[in-house]
Amino acid sequence: MTIAGECVTMDEMNKVNKRVVDHSFLPQYYQTHPTMSQVDLASFVDFNKRSFWVSVGTILWNPLFWNCVAQNEYHNKTITKTLRGNRYLGCYLLAITIFSLGMFRDAMYHNALKEQPASDLINPAIAKPLAASLFVPTKGTFLGDYFGILMSERVTGFPLQCCGEPDVRWSTMCFAATALWYSSPAGLLLTLLVHIVYSIALRYEGPFTTMIYSRAAKQSKAQ
């Protein structure tokens, strides 16, 4: 081979290529760990683990539960009637139930990730600091408006005015943080499921809450 007017043998070219690779700007981590083309994608997630499907079930169940129970309460007052008209006690009991279900869901998620393979493609040196930054305080809202316990007006201040639906974002961030902490592709897959399920749930909850406050405003004006 001729380069710049000089003959270069294949052995010399191979030596040059080796020097380029050895001094590459790519992180040393990715020179010593497998790349996407070197791994079996099916090994990222073990779908045979029962704990994985238990986690999927709890992720699907929680928003379905609170939407069905809360909308039934708004229309039929089932909890309030059972508690002899004490809507505040009903709201507190539902809050405790939702919070407990959330804790159980999180515990099942952690159990699932412990039984899933960790991936060398998720660099712990990068993933763990990123995960720590994603763990954020969460603000629980437990559907008091469905019990007829309304504020003077619907809450639209921080963080709603900048985040849209913060519950979806925060839940997704916390699940993603845990997945990164475990270097777990299965965790990232479950995080995607969380985002989809909660986004769908809020497509029902958001307009319904708007309707509640709109109806309350009309009744207030009529009086």
Apex CA 112: angle with CA 106 and CA 116, to 5°?
145
Q: Is the dihedral of CA 148, 151, 154, 155 positive or negative?
A: negative
pTM recorded for the entire structure? 0.65
Total residues found in the chain within this entry: 223
| pLDDT tens for the 223 residues of the chain, in order | 544 444 545 565 555 455 544 544 444 544 555 554 445 556 789 999 999 999 999 999 998 998 889 888 888 999 989 999 998 898 889 888 988 998 999 999 999 999 999 887 776 666 666 666 555 443 334 455 556 655 555 555 444 444 555 567 778 888 988 898 888 999 999 999 999 998 888 787 766 666 766 766 666 666 6
Instruction: Confirm or deny that 153 is annotated as ligand binding.
Output: no
Cα-Cα-Cα-Cα torsion 210, 215, 217, 223, nearest 10 degrees, comes to: -170
Element holding 215 (H helix, E strand): helix 185-222
Instruction: Confirm or deny that 205 is annotated as ligand binding.
Output: yes
- Closest CA relative to residue 39, chosen from 179, 185, 177, 190: 185
* Rounded Cα–Cα distance for residues 160 and 129 (Å): 27
Place of tokens 């309460």: 73
Helix axes 50-76, 87-114, angle to 10 degrees: 170
- Closest CA relative to residue 185, chosen from 98, 118, 129: 118
* Rounded Cα–Cα distance for residues 55 and 38 (Å): 29
Quote the pLDDT of residue 58. 97
